[in-house]
C-alpha cells in the first residue's frame, strides 16, 4: 500500500504482488511439476527435485510467518508502552490481560480513543482482530508493516 491512499480497515492488509502472487505461484508450479516428473519418470533426480520444491514452499511460508511474528512482538512492545502512557490508573494493571492479537488490533486506534476501546475489549472479552479493528474510529495508519 502506498501512502497516497489513506489507510483504513478496508485496505490495511499489505499484499506484495511479487511475493504473495508471483513467487508463490512459481513455487507451487515448480512443486506440481516435480510431482509430475516423479510420477512420469521416477528417478533419484526426480525425488530430489520434489524434495527441493517442497523445501522451497516451506521456506516461502516460514519466511512470512517469521517476519509477522517479529512484527507482532514489536507491536506488543510498542502497545504496552503506549498503554502505560495513555490508560487511566484503574486499567494499567489489566494490560497483561491483553493478548498479542488484541494488542495488534488496538495498534490502529488513536490515542484519544485507545483507553475506552481497551476497556471495551477487556470487559467484553473481544478476541477477534477484525472485530476490534472495526471498532476503531480514529484509524492510525501503519505503513511500515511486514
Give first-to-last CA distance, the chain, whole Å.
Answer: 11
Q: Which residues lie closer than 8 Å to 72 by C-beta, 6 or more apart?
A: 100, 104
- Short-list 119, 95, 109, CA closest to 142: 109
Identify the top-confidence range among 4-13, 83-92, 136-145.
83-92
To the question of pTM greater than 0.85 for the whole model, the response is no
CA distance 42 to 106: 53
- pLDDT reported for residue 55: 98
pLDDT tens-digit series, residues 80-117: 999 999 999 999 999 999 999 999 999 999 999 999 99
What backbone torsions phi and psi does residue 62 show, to the nearest 5 degrees?
Answer: -70, -30
pLDDT tens-digit series, residues 37-72: 999 999 999 999 999 999 999 999 999 999 999 999
List of E strands, 1-146: none
- pLDDT reported for residue 96: 97
Amino acid at each position: 500500500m502506498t501512502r497516497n491512499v489513506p489507510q483504513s480497515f478496508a485496505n490495511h492488509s499489505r499484499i506484495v504482488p511479487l511475493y504473495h502472487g508471483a513467487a508463490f505461484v512459481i513455487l507451487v508450479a515448480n512443486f506440481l511439476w516435480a510431482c509430475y516428473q516423479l510420477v512420469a519418470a521416477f528417478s533419484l533426480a526426480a525425488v530430489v527435485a520434489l524434495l527441493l520444491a517442497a523445501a522451497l514452499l516451506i521456506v516461502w511460508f516460514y519466511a512470512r510467518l517469521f517476519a509477522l511474528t517479529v512484527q507482532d512482538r514489536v507491536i506488543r512492545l510498542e502497545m504496552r508502552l503506549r498503554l502505560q502512557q495513555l490508560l487511566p490508573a484503574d486499567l494499567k494493571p489489566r494490560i497483561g490481560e491483553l493478548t498479542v492479537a488484541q494488542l495488534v488490533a488496538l495498534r490502529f486506534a488513536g490515542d484519544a480513543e485507545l483507553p475506552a476501546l481497551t476497556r471495551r475489549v477487556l470487559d467484553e472479552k473481544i478476541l477477534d482482530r477484525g472485530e476490534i479493528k472495526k471498532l476503531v474510529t480514529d484509524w492510525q495508519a501503519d505503513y511500515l508493516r511486514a
